[in-house]
Amino acid sequence: MNKPEKETTVDQQIRRRTFISFGLFGVYVAGAVGAWRWLYKSPNEVPGITSGAHAPLRKALNKTEIFFRRLAFNESHLVKTYPKEMAAKKVRFNSDIGTEGVLPPEQWTLQVTKKNGQVLKISLDQIKQLPKTEIIYDFKCVEGWDQISHWGGLKFADFIKHFGLEEEAKMDFVGMETPDQKYYVGIDMPSALHPQTLLAYEMNEKSLPGRHGQPLRLIIPVKYGIKNLKRIGNITFSNTRPHDYWAELGYDYYSGL
């Protein structure tokens, strides 16, 4: 006699639990959709040193970068190097913003602004007289391609020592600009002082061609190509982040590898 009654109880239980679970599931789906819409439509950050990213995503980018830097960045982590034969003969070229055409070497001097405001004017010959460092490594573009290329120049750490910039090197950032200031990068000091960071004046054992940043460019293997500024016009030091071309266009400021 009580069999039908018991069945309704099970049925009721099934209905009740299904109703509650699907209700909660619906709330979850609505919440997830709402959160996504909020994020997707979130306004861009206030333009400053960085621009062009959704404000919450920029926050996440910065925090994530700091997390990975603290977790893993180590000066002794060297970028893998390759034998000379593996270096590309035709070196890929992506952009000439700030480096159009060829700059007559005699019209070029590197300007370095010291902490006390003094400006050092350094010629290419002064740089070339110092010990040359060569590197053959896998250059990586933020777009996703990479290419083994061969560069020669002055180690940035040697440059600091030779020109008496130790005080400046205690600051947090290096800023570099092209002579026309159309392209510029900001580099954190540990990456700049990394033993494989070069002020390069040679590619494949010849003077840099125009489109690869003649006469002097930055080669910083611990960063994506966007940080490897071509044709350095001036160098500054600061404790705040210097302006950076691609960080103003939504890319991560650090862009480290």
Partner 1 sequence: MKVIKEKHPLIMRWTHWVNFPVLTIMIWSGMLIYWANDEYSVTLFGHTFFRFFPDWYYNLLNIPHRLSEGMAFHFLFMWFFTLNGFFYIIYSIISGEWHYLLPNKHSFKEAWLVVLHDLHIRKTAPPQGKYNAAQRIAYTSIVIMGLGSVITGLAVYKPVQFYYLTWLCGGYHFARILHFALTIGYVFFFLVHIFQVIMAGWNNFRAVITGFEVENEQPKPAIETNNDNE
Instruction: Summarize as ranges the residues that interact with partner 1 (CB under 8 A).
Output: 3, 6-7, 10-11, 13-14, 17-18, 21-22, 25, 28, 32, 36, 52-54, 57-58, 60-61, 64, 68, 72-74, 77-80, 138, 140-146, 221-222, 246, 249-252, 256-257
Residue 143 or 180 having the CB closest to partner 1: 143
Tell me, letter by letter, the H, E, C secondary structure of 154-171.
EEHHHHHHHCCCCCHHHC
Residue 110 or 222 having the CB closest to partner 1: 222
Q: Mention every residue, 6+ apart, whose C-beta is less than 8 A from residue 210.
A: 99, 101, 102, 103
Q: In whole angstroms, how close is the CB of 247 to partner 1 at the nearest point?
A: 10
Residue 100 or 143 having the CB closest to partner 1: 143
User: Is 87:149 a contact under the CB 8 Å cutoff?
Assistant: yes
Residue 159 or 251 having the CB closest to partner 1: 251
Residues recorded for the chain: 257
Q: In whole angstroms, how close is the CB of 121 to partner 1 at the nearest point?
A: 34
**176 backbone dihedrals φ, ψ, rounded to 5°:** -135, 145
Q: In whole angstroms, how close is the CB of 101 to partner 1 at the nearest point?
A: 27
Distance of CA 220 to the CA centre of its chain: 10
Burial of 146 (C-beta count, 10 Å sphere; 0-12/13-18/19+): middle
Q: In whole angstroms, how close is the CB of 79 to partner 1 at the nearest point?
A: 5
Q: In whole angstroms, how close is the CB of 250 to partner 1 at the nearest point?
A: 4
